[in-house]
Amino acid sequence: MKRRVAILISGRGSNMAALIDAAKLADFPAEIVTVISNRADAGGLEKAAASGIPTTVIESKPFGKDRAGFEAVLQRALDEKNVELICLGGFMRLFTAEFVKRWYGKMLNIHPSLLPSFPGLDPHGQALATGVKISGATVHFVIPETDAGPIVMQGAVAVADGDTAETLAQRILGIEHRIYPAALRLLASGKVRLEGDVCRISGQAAPDGTLIWPLQD
């Protein structure tokens, strides 16, 4: 049986689209059963509907600071679809610790940096300001602390001297679209296990390569 997945969005749904496309493959171990947005004007809603995915809008603004009230409505929507796993795709709403604990080990997020480096806002600007030579994206489990959960998968790109935050973001976005579906595949296949704060992947061979940048003669 394929695992039932909800994607939560607030905007254009770029990573959502990558997950939906991956889930169309016959051998993919998960199905996207709903897309939920906390904004009625989220561009991803139209993309999801065009792919035949049921969508729901639960406006968060009327709840103000009542995060628990918003989450109660969200949880009912998840229950109605018998959701087993959640993927956050640019979901701009903080959760309470209680909601996160309820979904611990079953809720993924993606962040455009090699965590634990550069969490929070403007990770590309942070990367450029510090002069790192390699950056990338990280899929991780959600915990109450922002961008701090156990790491499931990472992908990297070289940072060029002429990069701007925009050019670096665009290159990393390509990595995001590759690793988010791959991480969901691992989780839905039962190949991910948590050992304390560390995520282990079953059946993975030892790495046989390295990435060094800048290249040397």
In this structure, are 1 and 97 located in the same domain? Answer: yes
Could you tell me which residues come within 8 angstroms of residue 122 by beta carbon, excluding any fewer than 6 positions away? 165
Residues above pLDDT 70, as percent of the chain: 100
In this structure, are 92 and 164 located in the same domain? Answer: no
61 assigned to some structural domain? yes
In this structure, are 4 and 96 located in the same domain? Answer: yes
- From start to end of 51-181, where are the E strands? 55-57, 85-89, 107-111, 134-141, 151-158
In this structure, are 97 and 116 located in the same domain? Answer: no
What total number of domains does the chain contain? 2
CATH number at residue 90: 3.40.50.170
In this structure, are 37 and 99 located in the same domain? Answer: yes
In this structure, are 176 and 129 located in the same domain? Answer: yes
Q: What is the pLDDT of residues 114-134, one digit of tens each?
A: 999 999 999 999 999 999 999
Task: Give catalytic status of residue 124 as yes or no.
Answer: no
In this structure, are 77 and 165 located in the same domain? Answer: no
Domain of 28 in residue numbering reads as 1-103
147 assigned to some structural domain? no
Could you tell me the pLDDT band of residue 144, with boundaries at 50, 70 and 90? very high
- Catalytic pick among 111, 124, 140, 177: 111
In this predicted structure, the answer to whether residue 16 has a pLDDT above a threshold of 80 is yes
CA dihedral for 128, 131, 135, 139, sign (positive or negative): negative
In this predicted structure, the answer to whether residue 51 has a pLDDT above a threshold of 90 is yes
215 assigned to some structural domain? no
In this structure, are 93 and 117 located in the same domain? Answer: no
In this structure, are 68 and 162 located in the same domain? Answer: no
Mean pLDDT of the chain: 95
59 assigned to some structural domain? yes
Predicted confidence at residue 203, as pLDDT, reads 83
Predicted confidence at residue 204, as pLDDT, reads 78
Could you tell me the pLDDT band of residue 214, with boundaries at 50, 70 and 90? confident
In this structure, are 88 and 127 located in the same domain? Answer: no
CA 65 vs CA 9, 19, 126: distances in Å = 19, 30, 29
In this structure, the strands spanning 151-158 and 192-195 are unpaired
